[in-house]
Amino acid sequence: MAPRTGGGPALVAVAHGSRDPRSAATMAAVVADVAAARPDLTVRLAFLDLNAPSVEQVTDDLAAQGHTSAIVVPLLLGNAFHARVDLPALLGEATRRNPRLRLTQADVLGADPRLLAALADQVTHAVNGRPVASGSRSADIASPHIGTLPGSPGAMVRTFGSAGPSPELGIAVAAVGSRNAAANRRTAAVARRLAASTGLRTEICFATVDPGIAVAIDRLRARGAEHIVVAPWFLAPGLLTDRLRTAAPDLVHAAVIGAHSALTEVIWARYDSTIAAELELSA
């Protein structure tokens, strides 16, 4: 088969993978949006573990179809072990099997300002009783039932409107958590940046390590928050977001980021910046 040369490198979006089928379904919806944004390019979804297709299967298939280059975008919010060790090892093996296919790993998604804005969107929609951000394709996939704040359904309208933030509202930003304390400190910056952009009280908590959600709730209440929204710093729902709901069943839980338009933008931004960096190096 003749190599494909038109349109640009393929994009391989690599998700973590989960035993929860909602996670894979959400990531499929995300990547469908990514592909629709640039229909002239080949876009494929792969998983690090637990779901198919694997990174091995996708890269081998691209090589068999005649692709000579691909940009691999990790659909990961943190630059931890999976991004620094697991994925590079998989790509190294794929290159050894398919020496004509050049694979370049892009940066992780990270705490991109657009994703922080998407997180704020999901909090707004949760408080106002709407499940997901406008334009999202994840309504039937990523969002369990969410309620409204008792006695103050317009709190987030005031928060993001001209009247200024509600003094009664606090946000518990909930992330996965890591055994690496430095990684947790970097994640905690998400809560601080959300506080800076919204004017709200925020506290970080983790689903797998301390501080847990109960600590974040106590801290927010000690700071005067009467109503608390849990904002999951997750791309997709799964066992850990369920754990957070079980631990705090009386709170409003916002939806995960899911197939938000901001996520599509950030994925393509990582693709474009990787190509630009390659061109700069070759100039």
The two tokens of residue 153 are 């359904």
The two tokens of residue 66 are 């005649």
* 53 prior amide bond cis, ω within 30: yes
Structural contact between residues 12 and 18, judged by C-beta atoms closer than 8 angstroms: no
Q: Residues of 267-277 as b/e, b for ≥16 C-beta within 10 angstroms?
A: bbbbbeebbee
Using the predicted structure, report yes or no on whether residue 196 has a pLDDT greater than 50: yes
Over residues 170-185, the mean pLDDT reads 93
Look at residue 167 in the predicted model and tell me its pLDDT: 61
Domain boundaries, the chain: 10-110+261-281
Structural contact between residues 216 and 208, judged by C-beta atoms closer than 8 angstroms: no
pLDDT-wise least confident of 14-18, 181-185, 271-275: 181-185
Predicted confidence band at 283 (pLDDT cuts at 50, 70, 90)? low
The two tokens of residue 219 are 């801290």
Of these ranges, 5-19, 22-36, 73-87, 178-192, the one predicted with the greatest mean pLDDT is 22-36
Look at residue 130 in the predicted model and tell me its pLDDT: 52
Q: Residues of 59-92 as b/e, b for ≥16 C-beta within 10 angstroms?
A: bbebbeeebebbbbbbbbbbebebbeebbeebbe
The two tokens of residue 84 are 């620094």
Using DSSP's 3-state secondary structure scheme, residue 69 falls into strand
Class of domain 10-110+261-281: alpha beta
**pLDDT tens digit sequence for 121-174:** 999 999 887 543 333 333 333 333 333 343 333 333 334 433 445 668 999 999
Q: Residues of 112-124 as b/e, b for ≥16 C-beta within 10 angstroms?
A: bebbbebbbbbbb
pTM: 0.86
Task: Give Rg (Cα) of the chain.
Answer: 20
Look at residue 127 in the predicted model and tell me its pLDDT: 87
Measuring CA to CA, how many Å separate 257 from each of 91, 151, 154, 276?
27, 26, 21, 27
Look at residue 279 in the predicted model and tell me its pLDDT: 85
The two tokens of residue 194 are 């959300």
**pLDDT tens digit sequence for 219-257:** 999 999 999 999 999 999 999 999 999 999 999 999 999
Look at residue 6 in the predicted model and tell me its pLDDT: 53
Structural contact between residues 267 and 44, judged by C-beta atoms closer than 8 angstroms: no
The two tokens of residue 17 are 């993978």
Q: How many CB atoms lie within 10 A of CB 249?
A: 8
In the chain, % of residues over pLDDT 70? 84
In the chain, % of residues over pLDDT 90? 75
Look at residue 82 in the predicted model and tell me its pLDDT: 87
**pLDDT tens digit sequence for 54-103:** 999 999 999 999 999 999 999 999 888 888 899 999 999 999 999 999 99
**pLDDT tens digit sequence for 254-277:** 999 999 999 999 999 999 999 999
Look at residue 7 in the predicted model and tell me its pLDDT: 76
Place of tokens 């979804």: 45
What stretches of 98-152 show up as alpha helix (H) in DSSP? 113-127
- d(CA 49, CA 62) in angstroms, rounded, equals 19
CA 50 to chain centre: 18
What stretches of the chain show up as alpha helix (H) in DSSP? 21-37, 55-64, 81, 87-97, 113-127, 155-160, 181-198, 213-222, 239-247, 261-282
Mean pLDDT, the chain, whole residue set: 87
